[in-house]
A and B are shown apart, each in its own frame.
Chain A
Amino acid sequence: MGGQPAGALDLSQHDFALWEKRVDALMIIGSARGHFTVDGLRRALEDMGEDAFETMTYYERWIAAINQNLVEAGVYTLEELGLRMAEIQARGDTYGEAANG
């Protein structure tokens, strides 16, 4: 992206939500366990394409990249992930409030 045309800077700042901090922690922990490298995460981010940069937030892209690498490393299967996500959804919408700290 270096040198490409782009608009004015937005200097506003948001506080990191707890769920965003958890994504960051999972990135550090998964890397320390040897399940992926930072370059493996970057590769997954880049493979998402330019579109993801516009439509997903920073930590949304990072959790997607962490997932991609953990599946590739065989830490869990897509079936396990899918079942767990459905189970979490079934806990109810308000469960997400905890993620915002």
Chain B
Amino acid sequence: MPHDHHDHLSPSGHPFRADDDVPLSYWQCMEIAIRELLIDKGETTAAEIASQIDAMDSRSPANGAAVVARAWVDPRFRAQLLENAADATREMGFDIGPLNLIAVENTADVHNVIVCTLCSCYPRNLLGLPPDWYKSRAYRSRVVKSPRAVLREFGLDLPETTTVRVHDSTADMRYIVLPARPAGTERLSESELAALVTRDSMIGTGIPLSAG
């Protein structure tokens, strides 16, 4: 994303939403009121809210990428990840709270893709907050019925010989795709491999970057 200095772009180059530009919306006012009432009543503190925001900000797809890269280089860890992804991830040192995590593995014959049709369930305690499209009506409605067409909109054209497995996060489990390791990466280090693992490759709407 180019870092130009257009007024309507944030420092990272993303546009602010139009509704964030109004001075104070009804719902923003409600958020302030609820926050102040909770603090007044001793339910929370400003410091706890700030700390919670920092904790979520510190979670990003880089965490998941590190997990994936470890699984690519360490067969024992890969087996553990597929057996119990939450425990394996905790063992690597990630604070994922009470997350129940299942890893689903892409192979030469199988491609997995994750959705939550009922709301917006996402492995947020590992990957951070979900992208906007993940929460959209278009993605949630269509990917369970026409996953191949949806994946083509992401630039991923799967061959007919690949079986697509869609996973709808309907209840207590959250999912991460363990993408297939790209060809020609035998000489790369674990951290170099992690750099190839995109957020979308762990949702299943993409595949890892190729080496070099």
Tell whether any CB of A sits under 8 Å from a CB of B in the complex. Answer: yes
- Interface residues of A, Cβ cutoff 8 Å to B: 1-26, 28-30, 33, 35, 42, 45, 53, 56-60, 63-64, 66-67, 70, 75-76, 80-81, 84-85, 88-89, 93-97, 99-100
Count of interface residues, chain B, beta-carbon cutoff 8 Å: 57
Known: A9-B153, A57-B17, A96-B22. A63 touches B49 (CB 8 A): no
Say whether B109 faces chain A, with CB atoms less than 8 Å apart. Answer: no
Contact of B49 with A1 in the complex, beta carbons under 8 Å: no
Contact B29 A88, beta carbon cutoff 8 Å: yes
The interface of chain B, by Cβ under 8 A from chain A, is 10, 12, 14-17, 19-25, 27-38, 41, 43-44, 48-49, 52-53, 56-57, 115, 117-120, 129, 131-133, 135-142, 144-145, 150, 153-154, 168
Residues of B within 8 A of A23 (CB): 31
State in angstroms the CA–CA spacing of A19 and B23 once bound together: 12
B56 touches which of A2, A21, A93 (Cβ 8 Å):
A21
- The smallest C-beta distance from B13 to any residue of chain A, in angstroms, reads 9
Q: Which 7 A-B pairs have the closest CB atoms?
A: A96-B24, A2-B117, A6-B141, A25-B52, A93-B23, A84-B33, A60-B27
- Neighbour of B12 across the interface among A15, A29, A95, CB < 8 A: A15
A3 to B138, CA, bound (A): 10
**Residue in A13, A17, A75 whose beta carbon sits within 8 Å of that of B20 in the complex:** A17
